[in-house]
Chains A and B, each alone.
Chain A
Amino acid sequence: MSLMSEVGQKAFNLGVPIAVHLDVTYRCNERCVHCYLDHDDHGEMTTAEINGVLDQLAEAGVFFLTFSGGEVFMRRDFLELVEHARRLMFNVKIKTNAVMIHEAEARRIRELDVDTVQISVYSHHPEVHDAITKLPHSFERTTKAIRFLKEQGLRVTIANVLMTVNSADHAGVQKLAAELGVHYTLDPTITPMMDGDTSVLSLRIPGEELPDIFHNPALVGSQEEFCAPPKPPSEEDLEGYSCSAGHSFCYISPYGDVFPCVQFPLPTGNIRQQKFLDIWNLSPQMKEVRSIQAKDLTVCSSCSHVSSCSRCPGLAYMEGSMRGPSTADCEKSFYRTGVPTANMLRQGLAKPRGRSGNHAPLIQIQPIAVPA
C-alpha cells in the first residue's frame, strides 16, 4: 500500500474529511450538451462566506481541496479564494474549461502553487469540441490556455468526457495530451440533470461499445488485471464499505449545501446554517451513509462482483435506494469482465443490453486514469 493510500485509509478509519470538492459557482461560459447543471445563480456564497468555509475545512482536517463549478473563473474573486486556500495550506486542484486562462492567470496559479489543473477537452477536432461546448473557438482558447499553464511548469490533466458525439475521438485527444505534455483522463460519464431530467442520457455511450474502452490497453493498462473475473468475496469484503463518500470525502455546493459526494444528492445540511463539523459529525444522513456495509446491500451483497465493483452509492440513491444496486455500475462490471451481475440475473438479463434494448436509466462510470 502506498503512503498516500495508507493516509487515505487512516482518514477513512478516523472519519476525517481529508478531501472536499467545492463548487464555487454553477455559472458557466460554455453550454455543454451533456452538462447536468442549472447555470443560473440562485444565491451563491460570497467571498467572505467561502473564505469562512475554507477556514472551517482547514480546522476539520481537510487536506485535498478541489475547486470546481460551473466555470470557476466566472467568479471574479476566484484567484482570491485560491490564495486564501493556499494560505491555509490546502493541496489545491482546479477543474476548469480554461477558456478564461491567459498568461497572467497561468502565472498567478503557478505563484499560488496549485497542485493540478484539470481541463475538459472533448475532441482533437475543434469543430467537434466547439459543437459540444456551444462556445465558438473554445477549443482554440482551451488548448492555448493549456500551453500557458505548461509554460509555467504546472501539472495539467485533460479530462476527456466520452459520449455518442465524440466517442471515436479518445485516441486523438490522448495523442493531443501527449503532444501538450499533459496527463489524460478518460471519463465516459453522463449524469442526469440536477432537476432529475434524464434527457441528456441519450448522449451516453451504448453499453455494447463499452468493451472497446475497457479492453483497450492504451486506456486501461493491463487488460488482464482490469478485466479479470471477480473473486469470491471474503468476510472482510462483506464488512467493507462502498467508497469514501461521507467517510473521508464530501461535496459542498455554491449555495453551501453539503452532500456526501458530488454524485450523491442526499442533503445533509447547509453550511450557512450550521458549522461544517456539526454537519459532518452529527447529520443523521451522513451517519446513515457511513453505516452501510457490503453485507447490508439488498442485491449486491449476493453478487459475485461485490468485492471489485465500483458500485456508487450516490447513483444507487438516484435509482431509488442507497443500499440498492447502481445499474450503471452493474453494466460496467459486466462489460468489463463478461460476468453478469446479481442485479442483471435478477432482472432476467442473461446477456448484455445493447443500443436497442438498453432501458437502464443511465450509464455512469468512474474516470479511468491514464498515465501521460
Chain B
Amino acid sequence: MPENPIYIARSSAIAARALAGEMMVMNSADSTFFTLNAVATAIFQAADGHTPLREIVRDRVCEQFDVDPEQAEADAEQFVAELSGHGILLVSNQPLASEKPR
C-alpha cells in the first residue's frame, strides 16, 4: 500500500458519456476508444482531482459492489495506471484540478 495518497482527475482531452451504466471514453489525441464496466465507471466518475483513490474505492466501489477492499484498491490502481497511460486520467500524489477544456 502506498504511503502517499493517489489523486486522479479526468483529462480535458477526452470525450465521455455513459451508455446503460457503462462509460464510453475516447481520447481525442489518438481516437483510442474504451468502454468502462460499472466498477471502472464509478471510479472514473469520482475522479474529481481531490478525493484520494483509496477513499473513492472505499465509498464508491466497496459500498456499491461486493468486493474485498484490498483487492479492490489493487485493481483500481492498475486500472488508473492503464487509463493514465492512455491520457484518460491524470494521476498525482497531490490534489489536482479536474481539467476543463481550456
Contact = CB atoms under 8 A, between A and B. Distances in A.
Interface of A: 3-4, 7, 10-11, 14, 16, 18, 58, 61-63, 83, 86-87, 89-92, 111-115, 155
19 contacts: A3-B34, A3-B35, A7-B33, A16-B20, A61-B19, A63-B15, A63-B24, A87-B100, A89-B16, A90-B15, A91-B15, A91-B26, A113-B12, A113-B13, A113-B14, A113-B28, A113-B29, A114-B28, A115-B26
A11 B19 contact: yes
B17 A63 contact: yes
Contacts of B24: 7, 63
B20 to A, nearest CB: 6
Interface of B: 12-20, 24, 26, 28-29, 31, 33-35, 100-102
A89 B18 contact: no
Contacts of A16: 19-20
Contacts of A62: 17
Contacts of B26: 91, 115
Nearest to A91: B15
A4 B35 CA distance: 9
Given A87-B100, A90-B15, A113-B14, 7 more contacts: A10-B19, A16-B19, A61-B18, A63-B24, A86-B101, A91-B28, A113-B12
B20 A115 contact: no
Contact of A14 (B12, B20, B100, B101): B20
Nearest to A111: B102
A165 to B, nearest CB: 34
Contacts of A63: 15, 17, 19, 24
B101 A115 contact: no
A58 B15 CA distance: 11
Contacts of B16: 89
Contacts of A91: 15, 26, 28
Considering residues B19, B20, B35, B101, which has the most beta carbons from chain A within 10 angstroms of its beta carbon? B101
A63 B35 CA distance: 12
